[in-house]
Amino acid sequence: MNSKEKDFLITISVIYSIVTIITLFLNYYLISLFGLNKDNFFLIVIPMVVFSLIVFLSFSKNILKPLLKSDENLQKQLKETIHELNIPVSTIKMNTQMLKKKIVLRLYEGFGSY
């Protein structure tokens, strides 16, 4: 596991923990305010689940944006580097093919003179 994956997992874990604590606190507050029974169970729990999902996604987006941007920049730099390395490799490959053809032609001409 590389450091970027570790950072990602740690960040997600922290965000999840914070959102869970906030959700549990609000859930406790609403249950103590309205009481908990069959009639209001879904009225309290479903909005809390939706709220926690929205908070989790917004925190994740804001906190992980720099991590994802650095990964994107790294991928872009890698593509550019590979492209720059492929140009000389292609040139060398083409030159060796031309040299092989010249050597074969000279050998063929050399055998033809006897």
- Alpha-carbon gap, residue 23 to 52, rounded angstroms: 6
Where in the sequence is the domain holding 98, given as residue range(s)? 3-112
Looking at the structure of the chain, the number of domains it has is 1
Element (H, E) at 18: helix 3-34
- Alpha-carbon gap, residue 18 to 37, rounded angstroms: 27
- Alpha-carbon gap, residue 32 to 24, rounded angstroms: 12
Give residue 59's pLDDT: 77
Low-confidence ranges of the chain (pLDDT < 50): none
Model-wide pTM > 0.75: no
Give residue 77's pLDDT: 92
Supply the DSSP string of 85-100, one letter for each residue: HHHHHHHHHHHHHHHH
- Do residues 101 and 42 make contact, with C-beta atoms less than 8 angstroms apart? no
